[in-house]
């Protein structure tokens, strides 16, 4: 059994909408608070216990950090189910105060926290060019600022790590008393600029975290299902959703986040593990 995780129970997180994907790419991407809440409910009914959420402008689908829209998403979701809410804080070129205002004011159970800077890009073999190319800057100054806000608001940080160095960035934060050694890690794999998306690299990352922490895999695009299979065999938790991957299989685009969660839950059961309940998830993730 690997570090921190319950060997039997699997927490499934549903990443409902993301920030870059749009309806031209996948018609099922939700934009409005009610649409996002309905996707949270579909995911919950299929077995997800955590919903990872980026807010969208209801009219255009563009990303937004509006506290009012995040509040509407939370209220609409709470009407439908008791799924654990995880709000994003990631952004490029957004002032830190704006990136964290919804965490400070709304106090979701979990706040996603990127643990380091990186080249963030996508390459097209067909075009022999980058589809997008940017630097995702997350210096310690910003990480510490976000952690202090989350600590005051009693929001559990989800430590998002794109490479092994991001895991190493946790050590000084523990020494400073900003984090305990019992944390939730998310390993994002499949992004150019981050660690290669292989089972071997996933095993390496899972063995670098503190002993009493938990972890999940976030596999991006076509490598998602392979990495989920690897995580399930290694004892980890898993994340699926339209933020990360549109396809149930190579030829079938998902009609909802619920479809992706259904497949993930089936994979959990097929390897002899169990889908965690909300109660299980809160116990495993601690301090929720």
How many structural domains are present in the chain?
A: 1
**Tokens representing residue 264 in the block:** 């993930």
Q: Let me know if residue 271 belongs to a domain.
A: yes
For position 233, which CATH number holds? 3.20.20.70
Q: Let me know if residue 125 belongs to a domain.
A: yes
Return the pLDDT at 91: 83
Are the beta carbons of 204 and 230 closer than 8 angstroms? no
Return the pLDDT at 6: 55
Q: Let me know if residue 187 belongs to a domain.
A: yes
Parent domain of 44: 9-285
Give the CA angle between residues 52, 56, 62 to the nearest 5°.
130
189-201 mean pLDDT:
96
Q: Let me know if residue 123 belongs to a domain.
A: yes
Give the CA angle between residues 10, 160, 21 to the nearest 5°.
90
Q: Let me know if residue 84 belongs to a domain.
A: yes
pLDDT tens, position by position, 226-246 = 999 999 999 999 999 999 999
pLDDT at position 223 over 90: yes
Q: Identify the residue whose tokens are 């794109």.
A: 162
**Tokens representing residue 207 in the block:** 């063995």
Alpha-carbon dihedral of residues 60, 63, 64, 68, nearest 10 degrees?
70
pTM of the complete model? 0.95
Q: Which residues neighbour 244 within 8 Å (Cβ) at sequence distance 6 or greater? A: 15, 18, 218, 219, 220, 221, 224
pLDDT at position 5 over 70: no
pLDDT tens, position by position, 54-104 = 999 999 999 999 999 999 999 999 999 999 999 999 888 888 999 999 999
pLDDT at position 155 over 50: yes
Return the pLDDT at 286: 78
pLDDT tens, position by position, 231-285 = 999 999 999 999 999 999 988 999 999 999 999 999 999 999 999 999 999 999 8
Q: Let me know if residue 4 belongs to a domain.
A: no
Q: Let me know if residue 3 belongs to a domain.
A: no
Q: Let me know if residue 223 belongs to a domain.
A: yes
């Amino acid at each position: 059994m690997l570090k921190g995780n319950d060997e039997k129970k699997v927490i499934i997180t549903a990443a409902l909408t993301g920030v870059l994907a749009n309806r031209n790419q996948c018609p099922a991407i939700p934009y409005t608070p009610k649409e996002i809440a309905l996707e949270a409910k579909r995911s919950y009914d299929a077995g997800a216990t955590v919903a990872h959420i980026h807010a969208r402008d209801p009219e255009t689908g563009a990303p937004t950090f509006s506290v009012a829209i995040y509040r509407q998403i939370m209220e609409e979701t709470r009407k439908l189910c008791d799924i654990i809410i995880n709000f994003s804080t990631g952004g490029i070129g957004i002032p830190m105060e704006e990136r964290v205002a919804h965490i400070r004011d709304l106090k979701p159970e979990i706040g996603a926290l990127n643990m380091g800077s990186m080249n963030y890009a996508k390459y097209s073999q067909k075009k022999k060019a980058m589809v997008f190319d940017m630097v995702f800057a997350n210096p310690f100054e910003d990480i510490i600022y976000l952690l202090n806000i989350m600590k005051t608001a009693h929001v559990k940080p989800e430590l998002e790590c794109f490479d092994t160095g991001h895991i190493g960035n946790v050590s000084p934060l523990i020494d400073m008393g900003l984090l305990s050694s019992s944390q939730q890690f998310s390993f994002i794999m499949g992004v150019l600029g981050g660690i290669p998306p292989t089972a071997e690299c996933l095993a390496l990352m899972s063995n670098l975290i503190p002993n009493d922490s938990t972890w999940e895999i976030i596999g991006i695009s076509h490598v998602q299902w392979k990495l989920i299979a690897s995580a399930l065999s290694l004892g980890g938790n898993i994340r699926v959703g339209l933020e990360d991957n549109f396809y149930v299989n190579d030829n079938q685009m998902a009609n909802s986040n619920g479809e992706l969660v259904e497949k993930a839950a089936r994979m959990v059961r097929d390897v002899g593990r169990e889908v965690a309940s909300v109660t299980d998830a809160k116990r495993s993730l601690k301090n929720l």
